[in-house]
Amino acid sequence: MQPADFFEPSSAASIGPLEGIRVVGVTKVWSGPLATCVLADLGADVIDVELPDGRDGMVPPNIPGSRLSWFRESVHRNKRSIGLDLRATRDRDTFLRLVATADVVVENYKPGTLDAWGVGYAECRKAKSDVIFVSVSGWGQYGPNTAMAAYDPVIQAASGWMSLNGEPDGEPVRAPTFLADEVAGLHAAIGALAALAHRARSGEGQRIDVSMMDTMLFSSSGLPTLAASGSPPARAGNETNFAVPCNVYACNDGHVYLAIALNKHWRRLAELMGRGELGRAAGYRSTEERLANRDTINHLVGQWCAARSTAECVGLLSAAGLVVAAVRSLAQAVADPHVSARGMLTNVRLSDGSVAPLVSPPVKFSRTPTRVRHPAPVPGADTHEVLAELDGPAG
């Protein structure tokens, strides 16, 4: 299929399926901004409430050739920014006027912070009775740990996720990305969409409580069930406890990851390695037998890969219908022609005039396509525009 076959011509004017929905974000760092980024990418009018001289998200390093941080530019694109200090009475009142025009409010401050400023759910609900109010926090709005501070790696540690990451005989290792923040942000966006659907049926707004801890447990592939049942999983490194061979193997110029989950795929691999007799031999013919014979099989596959380049391994294995990929650097991944064909990087002119390749929205819509429409604004850049809208006929 070509892109033209997927995207319908009549969709050209759309900015996304959430066009016409207004979201007000009182967010910082990554989880909350990611949630509103997802909604903005989907076409919502997202207005970030930031300190007038704020520098939230200005995390180093800057994008090469720019004065702007990769962090802010990645997660604040497609939004507008209004400069308000919610601790000040006048700005608090302006914020509540803004909420009165909104469908969704998203915040990720420590529980109770917005209430203390007079702009929490109760006040926002007075301003807009059917408002959807999404709160993202480390531990949630209730429970013994609610008052505790949280950052992404702390939740990775507390959720048990970090204990499972790394080599079996090594130390726990954090994810190289903001995994807990990402997962919580995505669930916050999903929650907002579900609440919008409920409001469309019932006319009711509601409050949504998203805990980073909860979402990390949910996103742990069901393993918490094993742990709670008295059979906690062990750290497996690059392998799994349900398939062999399933591992990283060294080639003569790099590495590949090969995953053999089906018996018929093992037979194909055995033929390819010149050891066809092992396809149905005792100790090899079933997944259970291969799991018990892991070291021998890893040695056989490792020898075969070591004599070949990554390109040769991937070519031969893929041609045989097996599941394999070269272990690439991120730079190699983003240079992949497939990534280009999928439009996953968009060259965007940033607010300082520089151009940077930002990651594009991942979900493709045939009638309401999404895109990076504009870069992250300078904090407070849209204050006058937003205030004019509030003061105008529609305000």
Q: Quote the mean pLDDT of the chain.
A: 95
Task: Report if pTM > 0.85.
Answer: yes
Report the pLDDT value the prediction gives residue 10, as an integer from 0 to 100: 62
Report the pLDDT value the prediction gives residue 309, as an integer from 0 to 100: 98
Residue 7: pLDDT band (50, 70, 90) is confident
Q: Which residues pair with 137 in a beta bridge?
A: 211
DSSP string computed for 204-250: --EEEEEEHHHHHHHTSTTHHHHHHTT-PPPP-TT--SS-SSEEEEE
Q: Is the pLDDT of residue 393 over 90?
A: no
Report the pLDDT value the prediction gives residue 12, as an integer from 0 to 100: 63
Q: pLDDT tens for residues 139-190? A: 999 999 999 999 999 999 999 999 999 999 999 999 999 999 999 999 999 9
The residues annotated as belonging to the active site are 181
Percent of the chain's residues with pLDDT above 90: 92
Per-residue DSSP letter, 138: S
Report the pLDDT value the prediction gives residue 57, as an integer from 0 to 100: 72
Phi then psi dihedrals of residue 355, to 5 deg: -120, 135
Q: pLDDT tens for residues 243-275? A: 999 999 999 999 999 999 999 999 999 999 999
**Matching residue, tokens 């099989």:** 297
Residue 395: pLDDT band (50, 70, 90) is very low
Q: pLDDT tens for residues 323-355? A: 999 999 999 999 999 999 999 999 999 999 999
C-alpha span between 345 and 348 (Å, rounded)? 9
Q: Is the pLDDT of residue 389 over 50?
A: yes
